[in-house]
Copies of this chain bind each other. A is one copy, B any other.
Amino acid sequence: MGNRMGSGTIFLPRRPGVLSGAAVVGKLEGEGPLGSSFDEVEEDAYFGEKSWEQAESTMLRRAFRCALQKAAISEKQVDLLFGGDLLNQCISTTFAFRDTGIPLFGLYGACSTMAESLALAALSVDGGYAEVAAAATSSHFCAAERQYRFPLEYGGQRTPTAQWTVTGAGAAIVGRGGRLRVTHITPGRIVDMGITDANHMGAAMAPAACDTVTRHMKDTGRTPSDYDLIVTGDLGIVGGQIFRELMTVEGFRLTGKYHDCGAMIFDPRKQDVHAGGSGCGCSASVLCGHILPEMAAGKWKRVLFAATGALMSPTSTQQKQSIPGICCAVALSGEEDL
């Protein structure tokens, strides 16, 4: 039963496979550098629904169905579904999967939810508790903006460190076998360095990312050079730089290996997104729409997917609490490497 290593990394002896992934995004994301990677780009912010919240559910359901189709797996074959989102009480997830009849474990890991859901889906398959499990996560700019900050009509000014909530959903199907495998999971612990600026989430999350990635390296005896890509969730441009510096202090050089989903999904020179993308759907759509297919195509063999989350709420911010960060890491590997 020796599946635990050092400071919290879990080794998955049966290396469950990521059978497929799919991503559905909004118009702005479709216009970004990864636009052609996504399975579907929807021009209508409402996704044909009456509200942005329902739009998010529809987007998430579409990503899930697309992932199922790619894996040639039916809804009925999915034993367990792990999912979550940013909306209060996770209603995007609930309403996305209300009619599927699939047993659901609802999650809340803020923007780290794609890694959290993938990690638990992988554990459930590795342990034999599911033949097939799914991980699904989403965010929607308009729904998130009015919940966390201001109604869009207010037209609030944004600071340079602010990030842009991605309208995007990602879903991955996990089962046995396949070309891409989950080899390790390093679950996140809360790290709170006292940042209180809700427009500077990257800074709040970077120390958590450093904690998780450092533990992962120490537990596995690996270094960044053992990976072809180390990718954080949504630290953005500013937070990504902080993460890089923190890792250097820990003795890990990331040169040429590191990227951040929030910095990848938009082009800040052409798109007015300030410090980059954020939201559950950011790392979800970049992982499922871009990273998994590139791994399948052989571009990267080993990837460490380290999704980051800021666990505050508008209420905790109003009550002058600082912003707790968390980062859950999932190590993925191409077949040849196993």
List chain A positions with a Cβ less than 8 A from chain B. 1-4, 8, 10, 50-51, 53-54, 79-80, 84, 86-91, 94-95, 97-110, 116, 119-120, 123-124, 126-131, 147, 187-190, 192, 311-316, 319, 321, 324, 326
Q: A88-B314, A90-B108, A187-B80 are in contact. Are A324 and B98 (CB under 8 A)?
A: yes
Residue in chain B with minimal CB distance to A311: B94
| Closest beta carbon of chain B to A335's beta carbon, Å | 21
A311, B89: Cβ atoms closer than 8 Å: yes
Enumerate chain B residues within 8 angstroms of A80, measured Cβ to Cβ.
187
Residue in chain B with minimal CB distance to A322: B98
A128, B3: Cβ atoms closer than 8 Å: yes
Q: A10-B129, A80-B187 are in contact. Are A316 and B108 (CB under 8 A)?
A: no
B189, A104: Cβ atoms closer than 8 Å: yes
Q: Which of B53, B120, B321 contacts A316 (CB 8 A)?
A: B53
Complex alpha-carbon distance, A109 and B93, angstroms = 11
B8, A98: Cβ atoms closer than 8 Å: no
B190, A4: Cβ atoms closer than 8 Å: no
Residue in chain B with minimal CB distance to A86: B89
Enumerate chain B residues within 8 angstroms of A110, measured Cβ to Cβ.
89, 106
Interface centre among A79, A89, A324 (most CB of B within 10 A): A89
Q: What are the 5 closest A-B residue pairs judged by CB atoms, nearest first?
A: A127-B127, A1-B128, A89-B313, A103-B187, A94-B311
Complex alpha-carbon distance, A1 and B128, angstroms = 5
B87, A313: Cβ atoms closer than 8 Å: yes
Enumerate chain B residues within 8 angstroms of A3, measured Cβ to Cβ.
127-129
Residue in chain B with minimal CB distance to A54: B319
Enumerate chain B residues within 8 angstroms of A102, measured Cβ to Cβ.
189
| Closest beta carbon of chain B to A194's beta carbon, Å | 11
| Closest beta carbon of chain B to A209's beta carbon, Å | 14
A313, B105: Cβ atoms closer than 8 Å: no
Q: Which of B104, B128, B311 contacts A91 (CB 8 A)?
A: B311
Complex alpha-carbon distance, A215 and B319, angstroms = 44
Enumerate chain B residues within 8 angstroms of A324, measured Cβ to Cβ.
94-95, 98
Interface centre among A50, A86, A102, A315 (most CB of B within 10 A): A315
| Closest beta carbon of chain B to A89's beta carbon, Å | 4
Complex alpha-carbon distance, A79 and B215, angstroms = 14
Enumerate chain B residues within 8 angstroms of A124, measured Cβ to Cβ.
123
Complex alpha-carbon distance, A220 and B221, angstroms = 43
B107, A106: Cβ atoms closer than 8 Å: yes
Complex alpha-carbon distance, A311 and B83, angstroms = 13
Interface centre among A10, A79, A116 (most CB of B within 10 A): A10
